[in-house]
Amino acid sequence: MENVGDSTSPPPTERVEESDPSPSQEHKSLKFSLLGPSLLKAGQDAVDQRKVSEIIYNASKGSKFFNHEEARDKILTEKIEQILAHKARLEKLNLSADLRRTDEYIAELELSRDLSQTVVHVDCDAFFAAVEELDRPELKHLPFAVGKGVLTTCNYVARKFGCRSGMAGFVAKKLCPDLICIPQNYEKYSAKAEEIRAIFAQYDPCFESASIDEAYLNITAYCDENNMDPQEAVQQMRARIAEETKITVSAGIATNTKLAKIASNQNKPNGQYFIPSEREAIMSFVKDLPVRKVNGIGRVFERELRAVGIETCGQIYPQRALLKRLFGGKAFQFLMQCYLGLGRTKIQPAEDYERKSVGTESTFAEISDPDAIRVKLRWAADELAKDLARTQFKGRTLVLKVKLHTFEVYTRQVAPPKAVWLADDLYTYSLPILAKLQKEIPNMRLRLLGLRCTHLVSTKKVGLDFFGFQSIPKPSLNTAITGESTEDVDAGPSNESGDQLHRSDAQSATEQEFEDAARQEREDDMEVLEQLSQGYPDNSITSLPYVPPTNDTATKSELPPERAPAQHWTCPICSRPQVADDKKFNEHVDYCLSKETIKEAVQISSSSPSMAVESEYSSKTPSNFANAWSKEQYSRKRKTTSETDPRQKRLFFS
């Protein structure tokens, strides 16, 4: 591995100890938890985290924030005790079959390893703070942070005191009494981000924005076309960004997104780190890598893994036979990918990913009046209807989400008899499940309410062939990972490249799930901090029991859904969902294929003889292309453009 930059990065083996300096070891796990979600942020290598945890503990003790964290820590501790008890029972069993299946899965994953791509993760250095310094250069050598109640960014001077993003402002002031806190200005940050993205687009027009200050690029084609070494190309790109935008960035260069993101943090600030595209080098890098440094493993999962003896990626392998039974199938798959250093290589704009849901939610001051809650529900229905119209979807399943004053989240879902998209229908079908939830939780006090549609059906108008049939799309990635049958989808012979694509897509989906969950955990932490950092005690959080996962389903904290969504079949003529009943479905298709419909189609066809041929080509060609897909085709000679793709505007403020 090679690194370039102005600072020396810590080796992957470095990790922060959670040991408590007090002899009593009181609240040991709580003190570690209080260090917050950004413990591994760059710029804190020389910080005594034990001292920081003690200051945070004493500064926040007695606050509502402290009591909330204490209750969460107690719940997690109880869950870990149950996990360890379950592990002890498993270790008494004969797990040879589990071990054999695990080794077979590892061998299968190895077949999917792709070393042909060069993926770069670029991360701006203390972005919000760096933008503020452009307007106020006097802040450059002073400890300052962006944000008031909760810090969103700290400059590197403040980080030397232990301050970091995601920390309560009053706690940061205890660590650094001279800390200057300034308000956020997202409009200014977004404008600067656009300048940086314009440069990204010249190296990869299809770059993927991961947040307002970071992005993934695949520079394989750029390096080939310009006969450049990847490290040289990234060095050039970073120099251009610094010169043209006055913002420094750090970068990680590897064969996939998972490794590239880890590498980008190895030599911050204003540096880059390269992991060679060789299996031996990758395995050596991940062997001693703390699991917490992997994107997708948050504070909770990290502590659960540590409890069973897994602190580094190399320690995953000895425990491999137990992981599926302890944490579920998805977690098992994700951890095996971490152990092997595997990750997705496909980079594409965020908007190109298949949409799974459309939703809206709102946070507000605590309310308990039933009429006021219904007003919020009506607002959510109206907003969701607008979003569904804009995105051209309707939903077969409607999900209600509420967050109580205790910060507990509950979800309920219902499957209406028809796909819904109108505000009145959204409100009508969600009102009963809200009423049922109010009965289950007397005197319900809410601070968030949202509605979401899933199992989406597109309302976009599509081209029809002679009989009005649409081309049948490929099964979604969701189907591949949930284990639903796909035997009838493609009756043609299997091919190696198609199988490899299937494995790669399933791995990417699992990786994305964990990354999204980790991001949601960080966002929830920030939200709780914002509300609780100056609050009063509240001990109303209750414990949930640990339930060992079964089959491929991981344990979840939310309550079970209202009922499983009803099955529907989509009519190939009118594209409308129909009840999954053979007789009724056939009657409906017969109705659609009436003489008038065929007559109209024939008239259209006669006026445009090429329509039937074109439609037949469009309905058959995509599946043939999909089956012929290969890594050589995916290495893609991307069209170079100086303009930023307008879709590259996905922003996260976390």
What would the pLDDT profile of 556-569 be if each residue is shown by its tens digit? 333 333 333 445 55
Q: What DSSP line would sit under 220-282, residue for residue?
A: HHHHHHHT--HHHHHHHHHHHHHHHHS--EEEEEESSHHHHHHHHTTT-SSEEEE--S-HHHH
* Residue 516: pLDDT over 90: no
Q: Cα–Cα distance between 363 and 371 in angstroms, integer? A: 17
pLDDT of residue 48: 74
Q: Using an 8 Å Cβ cutoff, are 253 and 120 in contact?
A: yes
Q: Using an 8 Å Cβ cutoff, are 172 and 179 in contact?
A: yes
* Residue 135: pLDDT over 80: yes
* Structure confidence at residue 31 as a pLDDT band (50, 70, 90): confident
Stretch 518-542: mean pLDDT: 48
Query: Highest mean pLDDT: which of 170-184, 252-266, 470-484?
Result: 252-266
CA-based nearest residue to 119, from 654, 635, 644: 635
User: Around 353, how many Cα atoms within 13 Å sit in the side-chain half-sphere?
Assistant: 19
* Residue 648: pLDDT over 70: no
What would the pLDDT profile of 253-299 be if each residue is shown by its tens digit? 999 999 999 999 999 999 999 999 999 999 999 999 999 999 889 88
pLDDT of residue 566: 43
Stretch 627-634: mean pLDDT: 39
Catalytic site residues?
A: 214
Q: Which residue has the tokens 């009102």?
A: 431
* Structure confidence at residue 652 as a pLDDT band (50, 70, 90): very low
Type of residue found at 212? I
**Contacts for 201 with CB less than 8 Å, ≥ 6 apart:** 207, 641, 642, 643, 644, 645, 648
* Residue 489: pLDDT over 60: no
Output the six-digit token pair for 265: 């943090």
pTM for this structure?
A: 0.64
* Residue 5: pLDDT over 60: no
* Residue 626: pLDDT over 50: no
Output the six-digit token pair for 473: 């799309």
Q: Cα–Cα distance between 138 and 576 in angstroms, integer? A: 62
Stronger pLDDT, 41 or 649, i.e. the higher one:
41
pLDDT, averaged across the chain:
75
* Residue 215: pLDDT over 70: yes
CA-based nearest residue to 215, from 595, 648, 617: 648
pLDDT of residue 592: 60
Stretch 235-241: mean pLDDT: 97
Q: Using an 8 Å Cβ cutoff, are 390 and 447 in contact?
A: no
Query: Highest mean pLDDT: which of 158-167, 489-498, 542-551?
Result: 158-167
Quickly name the fold that domain 119-276 has: Alpha-Beta Plaits (3.30.70)
* Residue 237: pLDDT over 60: yes
* Residue 103: pLDDT over 90: yes
Stretch 629-652: mean pLDDT: 42
SS3 504: helix
pLDDT of residue 231: 97
Q: Is 84 left (phi over 0), alpha (psi -120 to 50) or beta?
A: alpha
* Residue 93: pLDDT over 90: yes
**Contacts for 327 with CB less than 8 Å, ≥ 6 apart:** 304, 335, 549, 554, 555
Q: Counting every residue, how long is the chain?
A: 654
Q: Where are the domains of the chain?
A: 119-276
